[in-house]
Structure formats: C-alpha cells, structure tokens
Amino acid sequence: MQTPASLAGRVDRPTSAIPATALEFGRFRVLLRQRQLLADGVPVELGTRAFDLLLALLESDGQLITKEELIGRVWPDVVISEENLKVQVSILRKALGGGRDLIRTEFGRGYRFTGMLRSIAPDSCQRPVRANPRSGPALFPQAFWRSLPCRSGCSGRQ
C-alpha cells in the first residue's frame, strides 16, 4: 500500500501532495482531496476535465495560461481540438453561475483566473495563495505553504 508521502511525487495525483484541504474564492470552496466544488456549501456537479481545468486556473493565481498550456495539462497525451477546451470552459463558467466572470478570456491567447483565492489548511489556518504554475507537477508544494505567514494566529505548522 502506498502512503500519502509516497504518492506526493506522482504526477497523476498531484492533490495528494497538497497540505491544504481546500481552496476558497468568493462563495466557492474547492475540496482538493475529494476533488469537489462547493457553492455556499452545496456540491456543484463538475466533470473530471472541468475540475482539472479549474485546478489549473486556480494554480495560475491570476497569471495568463495559454490555450496550449491548458490543453497540455488537462488533456496530457491526448490530441484534442481547441473547441474541446472552449466547451470545458463554458461548462466551468456555467457551474460558477454568478461567479462566471472569475474566468477571463484573453482572446487568441488563453484564460486567467481573476478571483481572490484563500487556502484552508488542515489546522484551519487560512492563508492567501500565491502559486507559481511553473514550479513543477505538484500543485502548491509544501515548501511554498511553509513560507507563507498565517493570518489567523496559528503556529504555522503543517
């Protein structure tokens, strides 16, 4: 049996390396280990590709992600048309409902997440997220979390 520590480097399950249990933006919460999106505490139906797209956009933390980068991250080793990406962005926007403007289209270039993102760590310490999408396969590596100050007065341990 593999332990969470042994899974941390696996590319196909990057959420196992994330010390935070959830990310929040506006009225939404993303439960990372459960791979679920909640709106006001209610689960939102979201397919695998749309959820992967959401994670990629959240990881970019406001930086532009080109269409090619998104396709490579959401559909690795699969050749798809740009139309598939547009369909998944549309599905994600529909799921976000009133928060659909959280995903901004940069016509001819790609997409950008525009919301304010917070992490919810296992010790309930809330920290702002500042991710570097080119830091490696793991979303939000542990060293990154340890470097952030905790706003809620916790010890900062993970």
Evaluate whether 145 touches 17 at the Cβ level (below 8 Å). no
Of 73 and 5, which is predicted with more confidence?
Answer: 73
Evaluate whether 126 touches 155 at the Cβ level (below 8 Å). no
Of 81 and 143, which is predicted with more confidence?
Answer: 81
Q: What phi and psi, each to the nearest 5 degrees, are found at residue 152?
A: -95, 10
Threshold 0.75, pTM exceeds: no
Dist. CA 118–CA 103, nearest whole Å: 16
Q: Which CATH number fits domain 18-132: 1.10.10.10, 1.10.1660.10, 3.30.70.100, 3.40.30.10?
A: 1.10.10.10
pLDDT in tens, 23-50: 999 999 999 999 999 999 999 999 999 9
Enumerate helices (H) and strands (E) in the chain, giving the number of each.
5, 9
pLDDT in tens, 118-142: 888 765 444 444 444 443 344 554 4
